[in-house]
Amino acid sequence: MSQKTAAEKPLSIWEDAVKMIEKAKSDGVETVWDRFDKQHPGCTFCEKGLTCKNCNMGPCRISPKKNGKMKLGVCGADADVIVARNFGRSIAGGSAGHSDHGRDLVEVLEAIAEGRAPDYKIRDEEKLRRLCEELDLPVAGRTTLELAKLLADACFDDFGSRKNALGFTCRVPEKRREIWKKYGIMPRGIDREISEMMHRTHMGCDNDAVNTILHSARTALADGWGGSMIGTELSDIIFGVPVPKPSQVNLGVIQEDKVNILVHGHNPVVSEMVLAAAADPGMLEKAKAAGAGGINIGGLCCTGNELLGRQGIPMAGNHLMTELAIVTGAVEAVVVDYQCIMPSMVQAAACYHTRFITTSEKARFTGADHIPFDTATAYSQALDIVDMAVTAYENRDAGKVEIPGAAVDIVAGFSNEALVSALGGSLDPLLDAVKNGSIRGFAAIVGCNNPRFQHDSLNVALAKNLIKKDILVLATGCVTTAAGKAGLLVPQGAKMAGPGLQAVCSGLDIPPVLHFGSCVDNSRVIQLCGMIANALGVDISDLPVWGSSPEWYSEKALAIGLYCVASGIPVHIGSAPQITGSKLVTTWAVETLEDHLGAKFLVEPDMDKAVEIMDARIAQKRAALGLPE
Ligand code: XCC
Ligand code: SF4
């Protein structure tokens, strides 16, 4: 966002954000927007994906020569190869993030089974058994803990090199599996695909851009139907399947008279324990003695979404709100695990009494307090964390406290299980609504904020435009907070929807935008698409569905986009990835993929135009299925 646009309109559509951006200025706290202005406009080579740093003959930056031909890198790589390699490495990065998170859950499940994680338990035995059966594991006569071990082993196997297809690809419609086989993109092993992506993009390996793109798709599929799906499913088994429950969003959920602890990151393993420790009678006693009215746990980003969906904690904010939450001056501790945690939060916290506490060896921050979290000693370490927050409360400077905005009511915590049960036990009522046109289609809006855009403006505009067209929206990641603040996560929000969706929402008492969890929970979305496609006897690419990430910023969002496309779900994004330096790769992304995989990317920063295109495709798909408009 240039200085000029910044002067024209506020940096965020939310009053709580705008107030805190002002306060940050007067408190001398630098924010993401300040740094964005200093970085942009940036390097055009990099923006187009035309910089290669993959070896020490370079770095190379290539551009068109006067005669229209492209220069080559020192090794001879052309624009197509360099762009495809860079893109592939981004996909590997995003897939690694989700999947290594998934692996952490497998380790916890195994530790529970072996009695090494006494503070955790299996909260959903039924789902554990159901998954084991689905994966064709020998369940007969086994105890819960034996099943847990069996499932953990099966999931570990999915990370390796011994399989031809990941376990959960059993959920993929037959037609889609055939396409994957035809193009050689059936995901085999999660670590294998990621590692092979790194290998292929080393100097002197995969020098055919299309071939690299196809392996990128395979890597992303290993994320969606592998790492992310394992993360979601195992979290459900250990912490419970999300069911809808009331909660609240925005900075107003921070309570002036309480010890406020914000959990931030992605993995629920630490934050669930912190939530439990915050209810510890000894801690509450200590908080009272310090003059506080209690201990309040609020969420940021996806760890927040994990705990909101399962335990109903309120959400303080999404990605671009994370620094601003500290600026309220009323946060005693920010407890983080990994991913999407701005390094600047250490400095922001240092401007107040806030303790910034890291817990993962994979994500240490210089200057932070580090608690090396171990599932063997989880509860006592969580007590230590809460204790640090309570102690910090005594250092709070009342003069620096300002909590903007009133909390907004939401209903959150949908899952496929919860959806089916809201429908009375089967998907049929939903399918009927799709068939008779009261619901014209589905769109999953995924995550993220990006200071390129006015904060949350695209997320909210897109959601509102879609529901007006009777398109049911599933929200995951950071967009959930935006939808919540806009009043879209309550059944009354259906007033903003078209007549068909309005009727469905009031009949089922559900919001027009369903909180479907964190970013790894996009695995629920592809699973649902698989279920619907199977029920209709078609491929996922035949369904009237879309994915979208209007304000995407992260490699993980890119991986989600690509696994959706490779699964047959077209994906809209608000800004182009760094691939525009290659006409070939760009054309593949926005056109050619459709011919081969039945779905492609749409890049469109204007939400009115985007919805027009999305709507037209939904109409087309409905017609092809013989459904009325
Ligand atoms: Fe990160 Fe998941 Fe994006 Fe939010 S939404 S900015 S990835 S926290 Ni997934
Ligand atoms: Fe340059 Fe080739 Fe090395 Fe990349 S791999 S830095 S293009 S020489």
Q: How far apart are CA 244 and CA 311, in angstroms?
A: 10
| Amino acid sitting at position 432 | D
How close are the terminal C-alpha atoms of the chain, in Å?
Answer: 40
- Tell me the pTM: 0.97
> What is the CATH number that goes with domain 79-239?
1.20.1270.30
- Could you identify the atom of ligand 1 that is nearest to the CA of residue 519? 9
> What is the distance between the alpha carbons of residues 129 and 136, in angstroms, rounded to a whole number?
11
* Residue 118 CB–ligand 2 contact under 6 Å: no
The number of the ligand 2 atom at minimal distance from the alpha carbon of 53 is: 6
Q: Is the pLDDT at 449 greater than 60, yes or no?
A: yes
Looking at the DSSP bridge assignments, the partners of residue 52 are 60
pLDDT tens across 232-257, in order? 999 999 999 999 999 999 999 999 99
Beta bridge partners of 335: 263, 357
Ligand 2 pocket residue status of 72, Cβ below 6 Å: no
- Please choose, from the candidates 222, 111, 236, the residue with its C-alpha nearest in 3D space to the C-alpha of residue 158: 222
Interval 13-72: pLDDT, tens: 999 999 999 999 999 999 999 999 999 998 999 999 999 999 999 999 998 777 877 799
Nearest ligand to the C-alpha atom of residue 301? 1
Q: Do domains 79-239 and 413-624 have the same CATH topology?
A: no
**Residue 326 near residue 392, CB atoms below 8 Å:** no
DSSP code at position 69: P
Ligand 1 closest atom vs CA 560: 9
- Domain 413-624 sits in CATH at 3.40.50.2030
Helix ranges (H only) for 160-227 are 174-183, 190-200, 209-222
The confidence score (pLDDT) of residue 120 equals: 98
- Report whether 555 contacts 482 (CB < 8 A): no
The rounded Å distance from CA 87 to ligand 2 centre is 15
- Distance separating alpha carbons of residues 314 and 548, to the nearest angstrom: 25
* Whether 547 contacts 572, CB under 8 Å: yes
Query: Which distant-in-sequence residues (6+ apart) come within 8 Å of 319 by Cβ?
Result: 301, 340, 447, 448, 449, 478, 553
Q: Write the residue with the smallest CA distance to atom 2 of ligand 1.
A: 302
**Where exactly are the structural domains of the chain?**
79-239, 245-400, 413-624
Average predicted confidence (pLDDT) for the chain: 97
Residue 617 has pLDDT above 60, yes or no: yes
5 has a pLDDT exceeding 60: no
Evaluate the CA torsion angle 474, 317, 319, 94 in order and state its sign.
negative
pLDDT of the residue at 350: 98
- DSSP alpha helices (H): ranges in 394-498? 416-422, 428-436, 457-468, 479-485
What's the pLDDT at 1?
44
pLDDT digit string, tens, across residues 343-357: 999 999 999 999 999
**Cα separation of 241 and 260, whole Å?**
26
Pocket mutation for ligand 1, best pick of 448, 549, 560 (most atoms within 8 Å of C-beta): 448
CA distance 269 to 238: 9
460: number of Cβ within 10 Å: 22
What residue owns the CA closest to ligand 1's atom 5? 447
**pLDDT at site 7:** 56
**Rounded mean pLDDT of 427-432?**
95
CB distance 251 to 296 below 8 Å: no
Local confidence band at 405 (pLDDT 50, 70, 90 cut-offs): confident
pLDDT at 2: 42
What pLDDT is attached to residue 407?
97
> How much distance in Å is there from the Cα of 78 to the middle of ligand 2?
10
**Spacing, Cα 341 to ligand 1 middle (Å):** 10
Give mean pLDDT, residues 324-352.
98
User: How many angstroms does the Cα of residue 76 sit away from the middle of ligand 2?
Assistant: 8
Give me ligand 1 centre to Cα 480, in Å: 10
Residue 330 has pLDDT above 70, yes or no: yes
* Dihedral angle computed from the Cα positions of residues 369, 373, 377 and 379, in that order, rounded to the nearest 10 degrees: 70
Q: Residue 514: beta bridge partners?
A: 474
Check residue 3 and give its pLDDT.
42
Residue 478 parent element (H or E): none
Half-sphere exposure of 53 (CA within 13 A, CB side): 4
- The residue with tokens 């916890």 is 108
What are the structure tokens assigned to 179, written together? Answer: 């396409």
Task: Give the ligand whose atoms come closest to the C-alpha of residue 455.
Answer: 1
CA–CA gap between residue 283 and residue 279 (Å, rounded): 7
| Residue of minimum CA distance from atom 3 in ligand 1 | 448
> Which residue has tokens 């002002």?
22
Residue range 245-400 forms a domain whose CATH class is: alpha beta
Are 249 and 479 within 8 A, CB to CB?
no
Is the previous residue joined to 59 through a cis bond, with omega within 30 degrees of 0? yes
Give distance in angstroms: CA of 529 to centre of ligand 1.
22
Q: Which two tokens stand for residue 340?
A: 């999407």
Give the containing element (helix H, strand E) for 548: strand 545-549
Distance 552 CA to ligand 1 centre (A): 8
Note the pLDDT tens digit of each residue in 489-531.
999 999 999 999 999 999 999 999 999 999 999 999 999 999 9
Which mutation among 46, 82, 200, 207 tests ligand 2's pocket best, with the greatest number of atoms within 8 A of CB? 82
Task: Using the mean position of ligand 1's atoms as its centre, give its distance from the Cα of residue 488 in Å.
Answer: 19
Q: What residue owns the CA closest to ligand 1's atom 1?
A: 340
